[in-house]
Amino acid sequence: MKEKALKKKILGMFCALCLCVCMTGGSKVVYGASVDSCVDKIVEARYANIGSYYTNMIRNGSTFTAKANVSAKIKASISITMTLQRQSGTRWSDVTSWFDSTTGYNLDLTKNYVAGTRGNYRVRAVYTVNGETITTYSSTVAY
């Protein structure tokens, strides 16, 4: 009986370790441009209503294009608040924000911004689906 309990404990620790590795190894995904299967599984296990999400920003010259997308597992009240941020030393300052909402299965928000100041930029996207909220960041883009 002790051996069975020990095996369960070791298996639990192993699962927790794997989850931590996925989350830290997948941090680039949460803060980056794509979603891999590990993060998909974490989202699926963690959220009842959020099916998937995507946060990205690209630059063409001085124009930044910020994109945010979220999908719901069921028809839901969905909102996205997307905030463009510029790095000031070690801190991030909000430059501008956009908001959209709907009732349905999916919501896309794409906005352009022409930068007047050089620096490092990123997008913060806050997704809310039927009261469940997740905050993500794009990768940093230099201008």
- pLDDT for the residue 31: 45
Give the Cα separation of 3 and 7 in Å (integer).
Answer: 6
Tally of domains in the chain: 1
Give the Cα separation of 49 and 123 in Å (integer).
Answer: 23
Query: Where in the sequence is the domain holding 72, given as residue range(s)?
Result: 2-142
Q: Are 128 and 68 in contact (CB under 8 A)?
A: no
CATH number of 113's domain: 2.60.40.2420
Q: What is the mean pLDDT of each successive set of 10 residues along the chain, which is 143 residues long?
A: 63 62 48 47 72 97 97 98 96 98 98 96 98 97 95
Give the Cα separation of 100 and 123 in Å (integer).
Answer: 15
- pLDDT for the residue 30: 42
Strands in 10-90 per DSSP E = 50-60, 63-88
- pLDDT for the residue 8: 64
From the CB of residue 90, how many other CB atoms can be counted at a distance below 10 Å?
A: 5
- pLDDT for the residue 9: 66
Q: Are 125 and 135 in contact (CB under 8 A)?
A: yes
- pLDDT for the residue 46: 80
